[in-house]
Structure 1
């Protein structure tokens, strides 16, 4: 019986591994699209100020490397004001508690933009232990298919998520540049 049990166990593990295999190239392309979507929002927020000559935008291509995703090229955005500039740079896709992170860095600090569940108001990390009930967990995963959106994360320890819109972005930008 020992060899039969071992063989059955290994077959189950192999089947589970194939079912749970992650397409990292697809994840990388998805991340690049999410970055582009974020930048499109930012450009729309800043367009009226740019048209009035109050700021300008510059782009710089940067290489990033993330475990599993590998190396990829993306852009860093510089928002140029008189006498100072702000940098907006993607940090990574594989972030604990979020589906991605982009930082805005100015002389007065750093603002974090996180790609999170549209309904989320603060971070929530759930830990599941595989105790043979994996079929039940699969059903939970299948029923919850959240929509992800960019939100501003307040500083720790009591992190809250603020919906990203023209006003919240303007407030965040002012926070990193105001004297």
Structure 2
């Protein structure tokens, strides 16, 4: 009697091992991309704050943090402390996998919190999308090729009528003022 059962089991286990290795590589690439997005955000914020820092109206310091996400595992990044004479504001990544966005960073102050979302750069508000199974997706791609989405950091207004505000020096300054002003 042949031992096909063992051969099939071995093939299946090899396939599962290869799939796990591919998924790990994909996860590491996504994690690296996310860490680059966080760094890009901080670079933008630092440039907005540089004139105030030069005038010694505020100071910045960084704290290393670890974040655990189900689909990415644990990773190390940093949060920013914006120090004013009488208070501190914290800017901290929340995560990559956020419903309705490709990442989220919060600015937390004594008066309120502001959410920065990584979304389609053309988006003005959240959009609901529907995912289909692979066969439906392939059929739709033949009719209408999917376009690569270009993402940008935006400020999300509070619910229920969430709007996305383009992140620039003025919008960031207004958000920061809202977080610190009495």
Give how far 1:177 is off. Answer: 0.2
Structure-2 change in CA distance of 1:125 and 1:46 (3 Å): same
Distance across 2 between alignment mates of 1:36 and 1:131: 34
SS at match of 1:157: coil
Question: RMSD of the TM alignment (CA)?
Answer: 1.9
Deviations 1:133-167 (A, max 9, x none): 23124457853211100000000000000000000
Q: 2:41 matched to 1:38?
A: yes
1:115: Cα distance to partner? 0.3
Please state if 1:62 is matched with 2:65.
Answer: yes
Aligned residue for 2:30, secondary structure, equals: helix
1:78-112 Cα shifts (integer Å, max 9, x gaps): 00001100000000000111000000000001000
Work out which of the residue numbers 53, 56, 64 in structure 2 matches 1:53: 56
| Deviating more after overlay: 126-135 vs 77-86 | 126-135
Structure 2 CA distance, aligned partners of 1:168 and 1:141?
36
Instruction: Select which of 134, 139, 143 maps to 1:136.
Output: 139
SS in 1 for 2:100: coil
Moved over 3 A (4+): 137-142
1:173 maps to 176
Counterpart selection for 2:130 from 114, 127, 131: 127
Are residue 102 (structure 1) and residue 105 (structure 2) matched? yes
Rounded Cα–Cα distance in structure 2 between residues aligned with 1:145 and 1:82: 45
Q: Distance in 2 between matches of 1:139 and 1:93?
A: 30
What TM-score, normalized to structure 1?
0.85
Secondary structure of the 2:44 match is: helix
- The CA distance in 2 between the partners of 1:130 and 1:47, in whole Å, is 48
Structure 2: any 5+ residue segments left out of the alignment? 1-14
Unaligned runs of 5+ in 1: 1-13
TM-score (norm 2): 0.83
Match of 1:93 in 2: 96
Residue 150 of structure 1 pairs with residue 144 of structure 2: no
CA displacement at 1:67 relative to structure 2: 0.7
